[in-house]
Structure 1
Amino acid sequence: MSKLIEAVRGGRTDDVVTIVNGMTAAERRGELPALRALRKEFRDAWVTPQLQAASPALLVACLGCQSGAAAVASWLTASGWERMWVAEKRFLPMLEERPAGWLAELAHRIADRRPSTDIRYHLLEAIVQAARCPMPVTDASVHAWIRNIYGNGWNTDVIAERLRQSPYLRPMVAGLFTAGGTGQALNSGHSNKDNPWLLALARLTAEGTLDRATMVDGCLGRLLRGGTAVDQRVFHRLLLDLDLSAEEHAGHTADWRALAADALQPVAVHAQSVLADLALAGALPTHDLADMTRAVLIRPEKNLVRAQLKLLDKAVTRDTATADALLPAAVHAFTHEDTEAQERALKLIERHGTHLTNAASREEILASAAPIALGLRTRVVEALGTGAEEALHAAGEDTLPPVPSPVALASPPASVAETAEETGALLASHGILPVADFERTLDGLVRWAHEDRAALLEALEPVAATRWWSRTCRRPLPDDSVPSAFAPSHVRFTPRLALDLVLAGLHQRITPGTAKAVLDGGGAHAGCLPDGPFRARFWEIAHRLLTDPQPFLLSTPSWDNGLLEPGELTDRLKTYQRLGAHVGACDFAQALLRVRTTDRAAAEAAAERAAVLGTPEGRRLADWLRTGGLTGTVLHRTVTDQTTPVVRSGEITALHMFPLAFRELGSPALGSHHRCWCAATAAVQQTHWPALLPEHPELIALRLIQHVLPCAQYPEKDPDVCSVLPLLAQSPGASGPATSLVVAGGLGVQRQEDGIAAVDALLLLAAQKKLDPGALATDLGALMLIGIVAPSRLAESLGTAASTGAYRTVWTVLRDALPPLLSKDLSPAESRGLGELLTVAAECAERTGAQGVIPGLDPIVDRRGSSRLVSQARRLRAALAGT
């Protein structure tokens, strides 16, 4: 043990300083490994009086032996040092002997640490003063400065005095406005109104110690940056404590306008009041007031919107010449969700419409009023005096989203390198794998395994090394456990797992016997169809890679929606015949389920060519195309227990010749709200289901019912389960009762992302004329009655759909869905939700000019009070009555 280590262990700090000063640079470097080991020993041990005594000596020794500024900064800012103040008296003189440039670098390296690092500000300040360099202003140094000032008292007088004594006051105060998280640091333990830090800063600004313009600009700049609510509240409070004059308010008009448009509500309210004072005093240009109005009226806060409309009323009353600029801005409130704001904006137009002198202003108001409720449009026209016959028009068609066109799959990968690269990218990606990319890469693996297996395995080495089944991964699985990891029905058999299965087969981590046994058992299918066909297809691919590699897959679709062109499948069978290749049963079954049969001309032409091949598969394809495949499959909707909706399908005889896993698609099935506990319901898997039966989305929807409906009651069940619904809606096949029921359940799910997906499906079905509003309304009414779909969540989903411009579609659904619920004896929670649903219905009825009577609405209208349920029922009845 060296003398230095012995002195450190003994806690003799003075001896450590003497020993280090007498050592050469090389001798100091030679002691560093032992010092690091001693530091680790101290950190791993419990704190004892002996270690506490030795800690300052160890720190002094470490700092004295280090030559680089970076290493010294790391030691100084490390955690766990005991009795730091004892060490400082010894090592500060040692540091001050270093060159000024070295000390400046040390100061910057300390200041550049993370803000959470326990930087001792007084130590940083001493180093900066010794280096005679500017104080580095960083997040860490500013937070250390705040802690240093706070550590000397919480009283405003004490903090103010400490701030005056701070030699770097102005740069550190400027750092308060730029460093992250300073609002939280300044707010520690205090409410905003009596925060001693803020009061002290305001006091120093008032007395001239701090520059007032810098403080005002800093507060406004920090508020304009946004950030956490705590940050916003703290700097807003500081701005209020600075007590700006009218001249200072007028000098920051652009800042106030930006804050009124985007800031946190309390800050926006303050900015709005400042601008209101300026506007009424004639200090705010009219065009600025109009721009501010447009920004404020699209905010959701009712108090801001109503206050802005009140300000406009005062401004136009004070100077009627401003009507042409201000009234067109007021119509932005017509589309606000607050009906009171809509009414106030309309009254503003009625009160001041006669002051309009510019025809362009009238046209802008009329154009803005076009999408609003019919009754409101009539009042706008009457207020402007243009004549109803000139500007009033009936409600137009819904604005529905364009339906994405199917995209043809690109050619398979052109080389083994490209195949390996795309396989690795799919396995490493997060989220849902697109069907097109997945199928193209899968086909590439099969093709190159047949063409050049050795080259493909070499290219796949980096990919295989990272997979859990590989022998070269960090924790390889035993050989006998790899197959079982793919087979159990409780495993979520996702597309990524399917790729892993194919790769494991390619690398012979699965035996042919195991793959054959799984296939003979129906693909080790889960009880949750169509998981069985999905699994069986990939077990067959893995088995063929082990025994008889296929030249390519017959079932690779032609389009990203899963459709396979009949002529293309015929050409593939012809190539198989020429090569003498054996057709896989599951591969061919999947190809038949994907082949397009609805284009009768193409189907007949392909059938003739397939029959000429003379092979069993050619004859089966010809018969399949001529008979229309699964055409004629019918699903029926029934009701059990008077309320529970159920969709049933009969047995599909066309699937009797298919492999076992596929035959179960044709077994009688029932879709209801009964909860499915199968774990094979991952959303990343379900999004590939529509591509299995692209012309028969009803069979997929039937199996999805038991997954989607439970999500309306159990939010933890299958996150993102509804992400498949837009894909289902885009399927080229016809929709029916199963699709209606699954979309109805999706509109009532609790997770917002799932609800939006269901809304997208609803709009896509409507855009393709595939939506049956009556069936959807019946299902929604039944699901609300049995408590699966809550009216409040349905109101949120349908409100979202209506806001896209689909008012007529939403109204046709609600018109028939409301009566069963209106006649029910509702609980208080259901009443609140029904009030929200009636709000959406009233909005749609007003915008479409719908008329008629809703059964069960009158008893609610006749109730006393002004609850949301009663007020919105009255609004809906008035809209339907044309009043």
Structure 2
Amino acid sequence: MSDDLISAVRNGNHHAVPPLVLELDRAGRRAALAELKELRKEARDWEWQRQDRIRKALLVAGAGCHTGAAGCATWIGGRDLRSWSRSPYPLILVALGDRDPVWLGDLAHRLAGRAMDSEAEFTFISELARMAGCPIPTTDSVVEGWSDRISSARWNGRSGNRVPLIGILRSDPHVAVLAPRLFELPELPSQVGWYDTPDSSDHWPAALCALAEEGVLDRSQLAERCVTRLVRGGKNGDQRFFLAVLQQLHLTEDEERSHLRDWMGMAADAISVVASHAQDVLTRLDARGELSTRDLAEVSGSVLFRREKKLVRGQLILLGKVLSRDAGTAGELLPVVAEVFGNEDTALQERALKLIARHLPADDTPLREELSFAAARLGPLHRETVSALFGTAGEEAPADGPYEELLPPVPVLSRLDPAPQTVAELVEEVAAQVKSRSSWQGSTPGALAAASGVSAFERTLDGLVRVARTERAELAEALQEALAGAWLIEHGIDRRPEPAYVTTSDALALVVGSLLGRISEKDVTWGKERWTGTGSCPHAALNGVLLARAWEAAGAVRSGGVPFLLATPTWHTGSLDAAELVERLRTYQRLGVAPGAADFSQALLRVRRSGASGAAEAAAALGTPQGDRLAAWIRADEPMVPVLRHGLADDRPSAGNWWQRSASGVRHVLLATKERPLIQQEFPRSFHWLGRAHVPSTRECYHWGAEQCSHWIATLPEDGETLAAWLMPDLLRNADEGPRGGAWFLPPLMEAGGEAGVAVHLALAYGLGSRHPEDRISAVDALLVVAAQGRLDTALLGRELGVLVDHDLVKVNRLADSARTAAATGAYRTVLGVLAAALPTLLAYEKAPRGIGDLLAVAAECAEQCGTEGIEPIAGLAGTAGRKGASQTVRQAARLSKAFKE
């Protein structure tokens, strides 16, 4: 009988497997299982089409033949037995039909502890629990699978109409047990947390509350769990979900009072929308006399430190009501109000100052002195009011000595460590990078992460070439063992890797595959001699250079004739010392080794040309073609390709409003690059894209949102201006609708050599206006690096910011946030210089764009801190300051104008 079963499995006849399993006794199943395990091992070396044919049958047969629940669960969870087609779980249930209920319950709980890939797995576990007569497991994976099944059931398969959620939940047998567990998951399933509007009647918050009203779910339990999750914090979407449920439960006055400390915690630390709700509850508690002065002072001390202006205003209003109602609370509450003097918003400072002036007791000298000391933090804008309220005691003491700009230290070049010299060290490096799928990962990597990634990769690549030449057999054996099961080594090496997505780990896998014989010599020859891809975008072109080097290194480790690589960088940025490259060429000459075309070309692109005249002479003295090329490359000292200016600053649309300007003007501000014929003539074809003329395109690129690659910067580490121009479309998209992390390359780009011209400054401008806060922080870091290097042209950056705003490519409120962040580091004069050049464009609009008041406030703060010496008067500032009204824009313009006059 076991032969029939094995035959059915080999033929992929999964429907015939369950009855054949049921006909076997315990001993027969064990014997069959041993054969099935051997067949599973054998199948791992088959092509995927042949593997896929037997997967279902193998899965069903192995599950049915296991006599222990633990082994059965492990077999069912095997990744290599998964298939994209319909799940065979119903057949497994049939094959397990003769098992003891306790055994089935054990299996259900073991499977429930594993992660699930589909709702079919939930259905399988729930059926096992039904057959076992036991409660369904309530693990996180089961709850997530249940929510998947509920969401799928919302769409009627026949009519295509959407079925009401509340009806599905009412009829579900597990809702009373599993629905409350949603509130205990680390993160909500996406299909649960998403809804059109919080009060929609056909989404999870309303449905759960309806079930609570009907008694299906415990209402008080839901309320408690919502409060617990809101206090704990978490993803914004999850927090909004729990808040929506809580609001629709309509807590009673007793329930609100019982959670007083929780509301205080939410108001202090929760996301804005949750904090606002908590603030409303605290206001109701105060109106009912259930919020003590001490509690109000405690929570206000936290809320008034928050950045959200609405929350700070709301708390000041609440404090004002309490002070008006009970003057005796002034001694405890007014010092808390004075904390607002440290807020960056001058309007809030003024509101707090007025509140103190209104309720300050005339006979409380200690309190007056305490508040006078706090008022010293206020700037010149409030000096008259402070003097009138506290006298000269409230004035800030003059600063000692001249103003000093605080900038970060200039980044220091860090030399790469030598390549791994021993087999053990090299294998460890290779395994770490290949198994991680890239040499570094992260949505928003910074300069340090990028530098670490390229350094590790380059050292490891060079180490493979070096060690393969001297200890090839030992290295191959060690790599074979260390990388057993690694996807890139076992399955991911193709004869022609796709350059569009190639990463440094792909490049290492290609070289290792050649060393281990996984790639034929014919394929390696093809890769070295015929790889001519040049890419359709800068990302693909830069990846193509990496791939050309990888094919060349794959040939080097196979032949063992290359002592080391020429292009291995000297420093963490990817740059290569010219004298060091000369010495490497001299060693090649002495050994009679011909440099690889891709390796030598990459070395040229990396060599540091400035101050290398002596190296140029030494290179020419070698008397080799490569030495002559290196000498000529150093002496020319030209950028990779010339970058063309956009010329839009002097060609602005004539409409008066900013949206009309952007509609009638050029929508995209990008930079074209000229041709560099030398690249076409002397470099391998895989480098030719780099030397062609390019007009930037805003068409969607398949690299947008893909994994970022540190080797992009390290390919041209001495040509930051060129890289900035080529990668500009990424930054444009990042400022509009791109995903998080799009400005990752700005900090390492600022460490690249070459001129810091219009492309570098335009890249900074886009980064400062990025959509996501973390990308704006990356841009601020890059700005401070360039300023510390002395390469920042504040006037040029300011003009570029004005151009981008003028064409509706960045938002002023985002620029204000970036400027505020940069100024907070102590770089007041740098920020003021940039804003002084950007503001004339923005102040010229008939209707000011949103956020201009915040930008003026940052500029005014900078001017008050560092003075305006050396800064040209800002055109249009006086006219804005002289307008009627008391808007933020007018007030801050007057403040800045006053700073220029003092």
User: What is the TM-score normalised by the length of structure 1?
Assistant: 0.65
The one-letter amino acid of 2:262's match is: D
Q: Show the counterpart of 2:381.
A: 375
* Matched positions, count: 769
Equivalent position of 2:623 in the other structure? 616
8 A contact 1:378–1:388 mirrored in 2: no
How has the CA–CA distance of structure 1 residues 575 and 463 changed in structure 2, closer, same or farther, with 3 Å as cutoff? same
CA distance in 1, matches of 2:69, 2:194: 29
Aligned to 2:414: 407
Q: After superposition, what is the alpha-carbon deviation per residue over 1:141-166, rounded to whole angstroms, capped at 9, x for unaligned?
A: 99999x9xxxxxx9x9xx99x9xxx9
**C-alpha separation in 2, matches of 1:518 and 1:106:** 55
Partners of 1:493 and 1:123 in 2: how far apart?
Answer: 44
Q: Which residue of 2 aligns with 1:473?
A: 491
Distance between the aligned counterparts of 1:122 and 1:626, measured in 2?
A: 70
- Give, in whole Å, the separation in 2 of the partners of 1:119 and 1:833: 53
Say if 1:873 and 1:464 are closer, same or farther in 2 by CA, change over 3 A. same
Compared with structure 1, are the counterparts of its residues 230 and 693 closer, same or farther at alpha carbon in structure 2 (3 Å cutoff)? closer
Task: Pick from 418, 423, 435 the counterpart of residue 454 of structure 2.
Answer: 435
Structure 2 residue aligned with 1:744, among 740, 743, 765? Answer: 765
Q: Residue type matched to 2:779 in 1? A: A
Which residue does 1:258 correspond to in 2?
265
The aligned counterpart of 1:691 is: 714
Instruction: Decide whether the 8 Å contact of 1:420 with 1:456 is kept in 2.
Output: yes
CA contact (8 A) 2:674 2:694 kept: no
Query: Which of the residues 304, 313, 317 maps onto 1:297?
Result: 304
Q: How far apart are the structure 1 equivalents of 2:429 and 2:673? A: 40
**345, 349, 355: which one aligns with 1:348:** 355
| Preserved CA contact (<8 Å) 1:312 1:326 | yes
Q: Does 1:221 align with 2:223?
A: no
Where do residues 294-693 of structure 1 align in structure 2 (5 Å cutoff)?
294-315=301-322, 326-334=333-341, 336=343, 340-351=347-358, 355=364, 357=366, 361=370, 365=374, 370=377, 373-376=379-382, 379=385, 383-385=389-391, 387=393, 391=397, 393=399, 397=404, 399-427=406-434, 428-429=437-438, 431=441, 434-461=453-480, 473=491, 477=495, 482=496, 485=497, 491=500, 494-500=503-509, 502-503=511-512, 506=515, 507-510=519-522, 514=526, 517-518=529-530, 528=538, 531=542, 537-538=549-550, 540-545=552-557, 549-565=561-577, 568-569=580-581, 572=584, 575-576=587-588, 579-584=591-596, 587-588=599-600, 590-591=602-603, 594-595=606-607, 615-616=622-623, 620=627, 630=637, 640=647, 643=650, 659-661=682-684, 687-693=710-716
Unaligned runs of 5+ in 2: 1-21, 33-64, 77-86, 91-96, 151-163, 442-449, 652-668
Q: Percent identity?
A: 35
Contact 1:748–1:794 (Cα < 8 Å) also in 2? yes
Distance 2:686 2:181 in 1: 71
What's the CA shift for 1:650?
9.3
1:635 touches 1:737 (CA, 8 Å); kept in 2? no
Structure 2 equivalent of residue 232 of structure 1? 242
- Distance in 1 of aligned mates of 2:351 and 2:591: 78
Give the Å deviation of 1:437: 0.7
Answering whether residue 790 of structure 2 is matched by residue 769 of structure 1, we say yes
After superposition, what is the alpha-carbon deviation per residue over 1:402-443, rounded to whole angstroms, capped at 9, x for unaligned? 555433322322333543443343232364681111111111
* Matching of residue 705 in structure 1 with residue 711 in structure 2: no
The superposition leaves residues 639-658 of structure 1 with CA deviations (integer Å, 9 ceiling, x where unpaired) of 647747898999999x7999
**8 Å Cα contact 1:324/1:357 also seen in 2:** no
Larger CA deviation: 437-446 vs 665-674: 665-674
1:555 alignment partner, SS class: coil
Report the Cα distance in structure 1 between the residues aligned to 2:530 and 2:469, rounded to whole angstroms: 23
The CA distance in 2 between the partners of 1:650 and 1:688, in whole Å, is: 23
After TM superposition, the structure 1 = structure 2 runs for residues 68-217 of structure 1, keeping only pairs within 5 Å, are 190=201
Cα distance, 1:554 vs structure 2 = 3.0
Structure 2 CA distance, aligned partners of 1:80 and 1:515? 45
Give yes or no for contact 1:802–1:810 (8 Å, CA) kept in 2: yes
Instruction: Give the whole-Å Cα distance in 2 for the aligned partners of 1:236 and 1:710.
Output: 41
State how far apart, in whole Å, the 1-side matches of 2:274 and 2:523 are: 68
Displacement of 1:450 in angstroms is 1.4
Q: Does 1:854 align with 2:878?
A: no
Alpha carbons 1:525, 1:536 under 8 Å: kept: no
Q: Kindly state the Cα deviation for residue 629 of structure 1 after the two structures are TM-superposed.
A: 7.3
Rounded to whole Å, the distance in 1 between the matches of 2:892 and 2:522 is 64
Structure 1 distance, partners of 2:823, 2:139, is 49
Q: Distance in 2 between matches of 1:793 and 1:229?
A: 25
Contact 1:633 1:652 in 2 (8 A): yes
TM-score by structure 2 length? 0.64
Structure 1 residue 775 displacement after superposition: 1.7
Counterparts of 1:799 and 1:424, CA distance in 2: 44
CA contact (8 A) 2:112 2:137 kept: yes
Equivalent position amino acid for 2:747 in 1? P
Higher Cα Rg: structure 1 or 2?
A: 1
In 2: Cα distance, 1:230 partner to 1:631 partner: 55
The whole-number CA distance in structure 2 between the counterparts of 1:568 and 1:536 is 23
**CA distance, structure 2, for counterparts of residue 108 and residue 678 of structure 1:** 46
C-alpha change, 1:585 and 1:234, in structure 2 (3 Å) is closer
For 1:742, what is the secondary structure of its paired residue?
helix
Q: State the AA in 1 paired with 2:456.
A: D
Q: What CA distance in whole angstroms lies between the structure 1 residues aligned with 2:182 and 2:739?
A: 45
CA offset digits 1:190-233 (Å, max 9, x no partner): 499x979869968999xxx9998x89866643542446356533
Tell me the equivalent position of 1:831: 849
Q: Deviations over 1:459-510 (max 9, x none)?
A: 444688879997x638965xxxx3xx46xxx845644454455446554455
Secondary structure of 1:391's aligned partner: coil
Cα offsets for 1:431-458 (capped at 9, x unmatched): 4681111111111111122113333334
C-alpha separation in 2, matches of 1:459 and 1:120: 42
Mapped to 1, the partners of 2:293 and 2:483 lie a distance apart of 68
> Structure 1 residues 496 and 249 mapped into 2: Cα distance closer, same or farther (>3 Å)?
closer
Alpha-carbon spacing, 1:123–1:426, altered in 2? closer, same or farther (3 Å):
closer
What is the alpha-carbon distance in structure 2 between the residues aligned to residue 474 and residue 548 of structure 1?
A: 24
Equivalence for 1:729: 750
2: distance between equivalents of 1:651 and 1:328?
66
Counterpart CA distance in 2 for 1:281 and 1:562 is 66
Contact 2:720–2:756 (8 Å) recurs in 1:
no
The SS at the match of 1:357 is helix
Report the Cα distance in structure 1 between the residues aligned to 2:207 and 2:597, rounded to whole angstroms: 79
TM-superposed deviation, 1:727:
0.7
Aligned mates of 1:142, 1:721 — CA distance in 2: 31
